[in-house]
DNA sequence: GAGGCCATGTAAACTGTTACATGATTTG
DNA sequence: CAAATCATGTAACAGTTTACATGGCCTC
């Protein structure tokens, strides 16, 4: 996933590896972390394969390496962005995509969000069945903590669906969160 | 993390690798997946290192391998279960722990949940600051999708905190989710 | 001039996936 | 008797973390 994040981050400006790390931390640090050990070798590889253009520029006594996305990189990035949002991919991948959704034309963007919503709904239905089965048991208390993780999952899916609907309609984001919490 | 999940799953009965895979799928499949390629080699390793006891039993024309946790395994598992719930670990790790929380005495369990709650609160406060900064900008619409992932993060943290409080008090789990959703 | 940040990398280890390979048992 | 499921594994690859290593620039 880091490869696509790098491609997405280097569209508006040529950035150094260090810059990219900071952009990742500030932009999607809530749900994704990158280490230099993964970042630098990947930058080298992406440049070698033609997805990034490198330009070395002297800065004082130092050679800085600036990376920027190439046409080939743009194409690969766009393909990732518009690829199916099924639940085989993890939530972080979906969030990273949505982070870059302003790069997508409105119709494809909403098709993506609709697909994600539908997949989430289908999965939620399955969890509801599970929940019903467990609720019918007589010794539920014995499984309180085990069940609590199922309910956590249900809640997150409910949020996912709400979120999809919310941002499809471009509604005010402050209405998505609970106000006066804490 | 899989090592601890295996240890936790093999306490109540001796299980085959195949059994463990199914237990994982049914129990925590919502947020964690294990492949045979990671499971079988790890079972072998955990047995060699003394965390699991193997017993081979013939079944028809077949030798089945049953794994069960050892005293050494119990100790390692308990250590993991009672280790700090800071936000360096990912959410899946926390959920897996809570899944096994009936193995922990009530006082340590609640200490763990309180720590998780406090860490989540501290992180949420940081995100509130970020949100405030962004809300003050005039060209917010340009960053709608980027911002949407921040609001998603805030919402999840709010849920986390609600969840911690909920299960600390052992409240009815059905009250944690939104009813009549969909 | 010291401490903090900027900047680039490598090496070993760890963790896990995917695809392959094989064969027994059960069930309709 | 075919298909599904049970059952155990390996090999190649992929992705990532952690710790190490180095040194320049900026600000107080």
User: pLDDT tens, B89-142?
Assistant: 999 999 999 999 999 999 999 999 999 999 999 999 999 999 999 888 888 889
Tell which strand C nucleotides have any atom below 7 Å from a protein Cβ: 6-12, 15-20, 23-26
Cβ atoms of residues A117 and A87 within 8 Å? no
Task: List pLDDT tens digits, range A117-134.
Answer: 999 999 999 999 999 998
Alpha-carbon dihedral sign for residues A110, A116, A119, A125: negative
Contact (CB, 8 A) for B69 and B33? no
What confidence tens digit (pLDDT) does each residue in A5-23 have? 999 999 999 999 999 999 9
Nearest chain A alpha carbon to B95: A149
Contacts of A126 (CB under 8 A, 6+ apart): none
Q: B39, B47 in Cβ contact below 8 A?
A: no
Q: Mind telling me how many Å the CA of A102 is from chain B's nearest CA?
A: 7
Question: Is B181 near chain A, with CB under 8 Å?
Answer: yes
Contacts of B90 in chain A (CB under 8 A): none
Give pLDDT tens digits for A20-64.
Answer: 999 999 999 999 999 999 999 999 999 999 999 999 999 999 999
Report whether B43 contacts B67 (CB < 8 A). Answer: yes
pLDDT band at A140 (very low <50, low <70, confident <90, very high): confident
Average pLDDT over residues A91-114: 97
Q: Does A33 touch chain B (CB under 8 A)?
A: no
Confidence at residue B140, expressed as pLDDT on a 0 to 100 scale = 86
- Given pLDDT bands bounded at 50, 70 and 90, which one contains residue B35? very high
Interchain contact, B181 vs A98, CB within 8 Å: no
Mean pLDDT for the stretch of residues A139-147: 93
**Would you mind telling me the total number of residues written for chain A in this entry?**
182
User: A148 contacts in B (CB within 8 Å)?
Assistant: 98, 163, 166-167, 173, 176
Whole-number pLDDT of residue B182: 85
Contacts of A161 in chain B (CB under 8 A): 181-182
CA distance B47 to B44: 5
Query: Do A31 and B153 count as a contact with CB atoms less than 8 A apart?
Result: yes
For B66-97, the pLDDT digits (tens) are: 999 999 999 999 999 999 999 989 999 999 99
- The string of DSSP letters for B137-150 reads -S-GGGGHHHHHHH
Given this model, what pLDDT does residue A128 score?
96
* Cα separation, B99 vs B75, whole angstroms: 18
């Amino acid at each position: 996933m880091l490869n696509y994040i790098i491609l997405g981050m280097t569209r508006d400006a040529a950035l150094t590896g260090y810059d990219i790390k900071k952009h990742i931390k500030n932009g999607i640090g809530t749900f994704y972390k990158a280490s230099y050990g993964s970042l630098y070798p990947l930058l080298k590889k992406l440049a070698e394969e033609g997805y990034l253009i490198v330009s070395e520029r002297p800065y004082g006594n130092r050679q800085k390496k600036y990376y920027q996305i190439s046409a080939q990189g743009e194409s690969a990035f766009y393909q990732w962005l518009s690829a199916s949002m099924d639940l085989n991919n993890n939530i972080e991948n979906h969030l990273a995509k949505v982070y870059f959704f302003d790069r997508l034309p409105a119709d494809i963007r909403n098709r993506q969000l609709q697909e994600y919503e539908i997949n989430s709904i289908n999965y939620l239905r399955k969890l509801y069945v599970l929940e019903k089965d467990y609720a019918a048991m007589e010794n539920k208390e014995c499984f309180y903590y085990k069940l609590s993780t199922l309910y956590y999952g249900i809640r997150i899916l409910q949020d996912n669906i709400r979120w999809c609907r919310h941002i499809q309609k471009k509604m005010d984001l402050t209405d998505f969160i609970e106000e006066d919490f804490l």
